[in-house]
Structure 1
Amino acid sequence: MNATLSAQPPRSQRWLMLALLLPGLLALGITFLLPLGWLGKISFSDSTLGDSGPLTLAHYLSVIADPFYWKVALTTIKLSALVALLAVLLAYPIALFLARTESRWRGLLVALAIAPLLTSSVVRTYGWMVMLSDQGLVNSGLSWLGVISAPLPISNNFFAATVALTEILMPYAIMAMLSGLGKLNRDYEDAAALLGASPARVLWRVILPLSLPGIVTAALLVFVLSISAFVTPRLIGGGRVFTLATEIFGEATVTLNWPLAATLSVLLLLLFGAVIALYQRVLNHLERDA
């Protein structure tokens, strides 16, 4: 009991810690909690502009009853999950190499791996639009090689949005996994190698299980960024890829139906919360197994 009491900071120190937290908590409340509450209020508004009128559940009921929004939600989840999977699969070998290399150029290689983040996602999206168009680099190259006789339908669709988002978000996956791989203890790998395990078996049975928390974190980060992405699906999707983000933008700026846009935003936030809760459960399970 004495040890417990001695471990607690003195009252003056606790007040100091609280005083240091107050500016951040105040800023968080003003910039996040208040707008979030205003968004929730608008979603229950009966007025088109959400500034007056009685509270109603009509917008939530209309979204739930409309098959179109169910399709949009499923498309959003499908696109985000596929992008997260592809980004993790492509980024893991790069992150593993960067974490294990002893080259003097390691710093430069890491900088090159995350250098695409220095370029706007709009610019990179336009680059993919040029590459995947009917007369773009991919179709022109395949046609020149005689592989195809007509352009492949790889632009203005779900495939194009998946490819562009995967490339755009890969640096985030590399950074997340690089942080986790840097904390792995090499002694486990050396012990497995001394016991006769091949490099492939060491990778599959030792490195991969130990790096699962970093992989899950990278997948969550890419999924969250994908599920809220607007520019890339809007541009490279050619108006054929409907996600919750694109629908929110359309309702807020084109049809000016703010309550419906707020309703979709709240549902998107609930989806965020469900994904984060699932991530926390998976992470706790991995920690118990470890």
Structure 2
Amino acid sequence: MRTSSRSSGGRTSRAARAALLAPGLVAIGVSFLVPLAWLARMSLNRTVGSAELQSAVSPQSYVDVLTDEFVWKIAWQTLQLGVLVTVLAIAVSYPIALFLARTRSRLRGLLMALAIAPLLTSSVVRTFGWLTLLSDDGVVNSVLSGLGVTSEPLTLTNNRTGVVIALVEIMMPYAIIAMIAGFGRVSKDLEDAAGSLGAGRLRCFLRITFPLSLPGVLTGALMVFVLTISAFVTPRLMGGGRVFVIATEIFDQATTTLDWPRASALSILLLFLFGVFLVLYQRLFRLVEGR
């Protein structure tokens, strides 16, 4: 009797969990899996003549993409941009995140709000703000010229430099949030104990604080890298059409050339790239956790 009752209770519990999971699974399927399946199917079609879409099941789009030197060039540029922005954003955000994670100030809530406040503004608006600040007659060049640092305006827009500067600022709130969430293992007591044993501040940071905060750093780095290599608005506007990344190439293929199969194939390959770096992140995370 007890066995039957336990079995019935187990089935009820599983049914309840399934019922709770069902809405989320349906939402994921409708909003992500269905469009992804459509994208994969579109990548197997062919474009013939003047942007004429031909229904087919052909890998030609993938062959064209993988054998195109320009695609490999922009893929390499995208990876370089992702790594550079990730390193800079993490380096700038790390002290802020560590301070916010450890401070006991009554203003902590306000400081947290200020750190993530840029997320309340569209990346388009922030990019236009950077265009204004970094233009030849913008605030930055005006200040440098007024101080006598430069005799002529620095070229900070319509190039890779402007893209990197804008993306680092745009990605900082994401890095801060991710790192704060991963700094739970960083204990001030361990630093105090090391200090009482004669370890200096630098040694405490290198041997205790930073190693314990690595999971949060890796999480923040993954988020920034993924968002950077998929960024479109900032490279398009700050680059002035001179900075090419995978996202801008997808846009051009879909709207200018009207080669939807090629654009879909590029999107699938970008998604594959996400998967590769997610696997690398998981292995690094396990390595850090098992240290």
Shift of residue 183, structure 1, vs aligned partner: 4.0
Q: Answer whether contact 2:182 2:219 (CA < 8 A) is retained.
A: no
Residue 100 of structure 1 corresponds to 102
Shift of residue 247, structure 1, vs aligned partner: 0.9
Matches of 2:188 and 2:150 in 1, distance apart?
48
Shift of residue 253, structure 1, vs aligned partner: 1.4
Shift of residue 19, structure 1, vs aligned partner: 2.1
Q: Answer whether contact 1:50 1:259 (CA < 8 A) is retained.
A: no
Q: Answer whether contact 1:165 1:232 (CA < 8 A) is retained.
A: yes
**How far does the alpha carbon of each residue in 1:2-31 deviate from its partner, in whole angstroms, 9 at most, with x for none?**
xxxx9xx71221122112212221221122
Residue 86 of structure 1 corresponds to 88
Between 17-26 and 112-121, report the one with greater CA deviation.
Answer: 17-26
Residue 129 of structure 1 corresponds to 131
Q: Which amino acid aligns with 2:225?
A: F
**Residues 16-165 of structure 1 aligned to structure 2 (within 5 Å):** 16-47=16-47, 52-165=54-167
TM norm structure 2? 0.93
Q: Answer whether contact 1:42 1:262 (CA < 8 A) is retained.
A: yes
Segments of 5+ residues of structure 2 without an aligned counterpart are 1-5
Q: Answer whether contact 1:172 1:221 (CA < 8 A) is retained.
A: yes
**How far does the alpha carbon of each residue in 1:246-289 deviate from its partner, in whole angstroms, 9 at most, with x for none?**
11111111221110110100010000000101000000101110
Matches of 2:115 and 2:168 in 1, distance apart?
14
Matches of 1:137 and 1:190 in 2, distance apart?
44
Segments of 5+ residues of structure 1 without an aligned counterpart are 1-5
Shift of residue 149, structure 1, vs aligned partner: 1.6
Shift of residue 52, structure 1, vs aligned partner: 4.4
Q: Answer whether contact 2:159 2:239 (CA < 8 A) is retained.
A: yes
Q: Answer whether contact 2:93 2:172 (CA < 8 A) is retained.
A: yes
Matches of 2:248 and 2:35 in 1, distance apart?
20
Runs ≥4 residues deviating over 3 A: 47-52
State the number of aligned residues. 282
3-state SS, counterpart of residue 202 of structure 1 = helix
Matches of 2:187 and 2:137 in 1, distance apart?
50
3-state SS, counterpart of residue 10 of structure 1 = helix
Matches of 1:104 and 1:32 in 2, distance apart?
41
Matches of 2:259 and 2:192 in 1, distance apart?
61
Shift of residue 76, structure 1, vs aligned partner: 0.8
Shift of residue 57, structure 1, vs aligned partner: 1.4
TM norm structure 1? 0.93
- Equivalent residue in structure 2 for 1:256, among 244, 258, 277: 258
Residue 274 of structure 1 corresponds to 276
Q: Answer whether contact 1:42 1:50 (CA < 8 A) is retained.
A: no
Shift of residue 38, structure 1, vs aligned partner: 0.9
Shift of residue 132, structure 1, vs aligned partner: 1.1
Matches of 1:285 and 1:35 in 2, distance apart?
35
Q: Answer whether contact 1:43 1:50 (CA < 8 A) is retained.
A: no
